[in-house]
């Protein structure tokens, strides 16, 4: 088990996982996970389906008891002081929890009432949250009519009612279109700028890259890597240049051109696609020029950055999915 202290001297972590283990029958869903999140920073908990992300978050937010180990949130132990933990955190689950039949405003008021916020304060607060999450125009429509992005934003607004210093988000942007996703990222950056500590789970390296100060990668319940986004991407290796030619007959001449950069080239005949290691844009521009000069018609050309799959392949020797396609290196 690797434990890395992110703790800044004199500053207790806002979130701490201490050797968390969760078993369901014979299956060990979380197998000794430890990490620490300094206040005002973002930790991305990254992993494929079934890695143990939700189970870890559920243990840290008092929703399920660890088999062993513990966690601390805002300095309080989830086992010994669950009420205190709940009072200092917000949680947005993987599945939206807002009531479909109520309006956005009614949802906020209902949950706010449960938190014991006074009605007068709640009126002002709900207006403010709806505004902050760009939902004012839809505030009085039933949630059933909301788009996926609007639901996520409402969910997040609801979890912020109690102004928690620590926020847990379980796959906040899964299923959102790219625009809704980047809008939500903006909102989250704003919260962190105001001092919120954020733990978010994601399957997307890009999301962790956009938001996280530190990333913990888990697979099959264990931490397999951790570090800053930059550190992880460096581990995952160089970028790839990916070219799709229009005509299968052009694969071989295109391969020869790509090989001129000194790269290893992998040819996927079925997809009419060539993949080569590349250093960056300069390689791509050079290759694009050669392809044009040789009259090869290209359907698509681009640089592909190391993905979560690449990190996984490198770390574990298996891919996150059953995708059998291999990229030669
Ligand atoms: N209540 C439960 N009972 C039995 N097994 C469970 C339970 N909850 C989770 N598991 C198992 O624990 C493992 C981890 O699940 P978990 O939901 O934590 O993964 P995840 O990383 O959140 O995946 P996803 O990306 O699909 O949300 C899985 O193998 C899952 O089947
Ligand atoms: Mg999950």
The sign of the dihedral angle between the CA atoms of 203, 205, 211, 216 is positive
Q: Return the closest-CA partner of residue 36 out of 151, 197, 187.
A: 197
**pLDDT (tens digit per residue) in 37-47:** 999 999 999 98
4-13, 29-38, 129-138, 259-268 — which is least confidently predicted?
4-13
Pocket lining: 55 vs ligand 1, CB cutoff 6 Å: yes
**pLDDT (tens digit per residue) in 68-100:** 999 999 999 999 999 999 989 988 877 767 889
Q: Return the closest-CA partner of residue 4 out of 319, 210, 214, 152.
A: 214
Q: Return the closest-CA partner of residue 281 out of 253, 304, 311.
A: 304
Confidence of residue 5 (pLDDT cuts 50, 70, 90): very low
Please give the distance, rounded to the nearest whole angstrom, from the Cα atom of residue 173 to the centre of ligand 2: 12
Q: Return left, alpha or beta for 10; rule: phi > 0 is left, psi -120 to 50 is alpha, else beta.
A: left
Q: How far apart are CA 265 and CA 279, in angstroms?
A: 14
- Token pair, residue 34, equals 């430890």
Please give the distance, rounded to the nearest whole angstrom, from the Cα atom of residue 83 to the centre of ligand 2: 24
The sign of the dihedral angle between the CA atoms of 236, 51, 153, 175 is positive
H/E run at residue 43: strand 42-46
* Predicted pLDDT at 323: 41
* Predicted pLDDT at 312: 63
What residues are neighbours of ligand 2 (ion), with CB under 5 Å? 53-54, 94
Please give the distance, rounded to the nearest whole angstrom, from the Cα atom of residue 204 to the centre of ligand 2: 13
Confidence of residue 3 (pLDDT cuts 50, 70, 90): very low
**Which atom in ligand 1 lies closest to the alpha carbon of residue 54?**
22
Residue 65 and residue 58 in contact, taking contact as beta carbons nearer than 8 Å:
no
Output phi, psi for 279, to 5 deg: -90, -25
Please give the distance, rounded to the nearest whole angstrom, from the Cα atom of residue 26 to the centre of ligand 2: 19
**Which atom in ligand 1 lies closest to the alpha carbon of residue 218?**
21
**DSSP letter (8 states) at residue 142:** B
Residue 104 and residue 139 in contact, taking contact as beta carbons nearer than 8 Å:
yes
What count of other Cβ atoms lies within 10 Å of the Cβ of residue 315?
Answer: 15
Which residues partner with 93 through β-bridges? none
Q: How far apart are CA 33 and CA 266, in angstroms?
A: 37
Q: How far apart are CA 316 and CA 310, in angstroms?
A: 10
Q: How far apart are CA 278 and CA 124, in angstroms?
A: 54
Residue 103 and residue 53 in contact, taking contact as beta carbons nearer than 8 Å:
no
3-state secondary structure (DSSP) of residue 257: helix
* Percent with pLDDT over 90 in the chain: 53
* Percent with pLDDT over 70 in the chain: 88
Q: Compare 97 and 218 and report the one with higher pLDDT.
A: 218
Integer CA distances (angstroms), 3 to 70, 118, 220, 281, in order: 14, 43, 17, 37
Q: How far apart are CA 29 and CA 22, in angstroms?
A: 6
Pocket lining: 115 vs ligand 1, CB cutoff 6 Å: no
Question: Domains plus CATH for the chain?
Answer: 15-234 (3.40.50.300), 238-305 (3.30.70.100)
Q: How far apart are CA 301 and CA 274, in angstroms?
A: 10
* Predicted pLDDT at 320: 52
The sign of the dihedral angle between the CA atoms of 52, 64, 201, 171 is positive
Q: How far apart are CA 169 and CA 43, in angstroms?
A: 10
Integer CA distances (angstroms), 168 to 21, 78, 93, 219, in order: 19, 14, 8, 19
Q: What is the mean pLDDT of residues 145-161?
A: 88
5-9, 63-67, 157-161, 166-170 — which is least confidently predicted?
5-9
Task: Indicate the pairing of strand 15-24 with strand 239-245.
Answer: unpaired
């Amino acid at each position: 088990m690797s434990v890395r202290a992110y703790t800044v001297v004199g500053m207790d972590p806002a979130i701490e996982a201490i050797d968390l283990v969760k078993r369901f029958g014979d299956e060990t869903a979380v197998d000794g996970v430890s990490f620490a999140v300094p206040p005002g920073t973002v930790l991305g908990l990254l992993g494929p389906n079934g890695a143990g992300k939700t189970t870890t978050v559920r243990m840290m937010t008092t929703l399920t008891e660890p088999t062993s180990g513990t966690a601390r949130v805002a300095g309080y132990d989830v086992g010994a002081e669950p009420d205190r933990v709940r009072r200092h955190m917000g949680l947005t689950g993987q599945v939206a929890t807002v009531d479909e039949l109520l309006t956005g405003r009614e949802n906020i008021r209902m949950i706010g009432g449960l938190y014991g916020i006074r009605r007068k304060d709640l009126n002002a607060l709900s207006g403010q949250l709806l505004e902050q999450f760009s939902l004012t125009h839809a505030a009085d429509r039933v949630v059933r009519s909301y788009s996926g992005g609007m639901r996520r934003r409402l969910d997040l607004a609801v979890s912020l009612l109690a102004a928690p210093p620590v926020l847990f988000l379980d796959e906040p942007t899964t299923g959102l279109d790219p625009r809704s996703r980047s809008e939500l990222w903006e909102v989250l950056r704003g919260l962190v700028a105001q001092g919120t500590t954020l733990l978010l789970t994601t399957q997307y390296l890009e999301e962790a890259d956009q938001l996280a100060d530190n990333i913990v990668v888990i697979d099959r319940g264990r931490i397999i890597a951790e570090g800053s986004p930059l550190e992880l991407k460096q581990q995952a290796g160089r970028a790839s240049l990916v070219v799709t030619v229009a005509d299968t007959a052009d694969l071989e001449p295109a391969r020869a051109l790509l090989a001129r950069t000194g790269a290893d080239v992998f040819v996927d005949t079925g997809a009419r696609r060539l993949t080569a290691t590349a250093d960056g844009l300069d390689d791509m521009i050079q290759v694009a020029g050669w392809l044009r000069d040789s009259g090869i018609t290209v359907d698509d050309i681009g640089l592909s950055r190391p993905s979560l799959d690449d990190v996984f392949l490198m770390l574990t020797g298996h891919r996150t999915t059953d995708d059998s396609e291999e990229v030669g290196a």
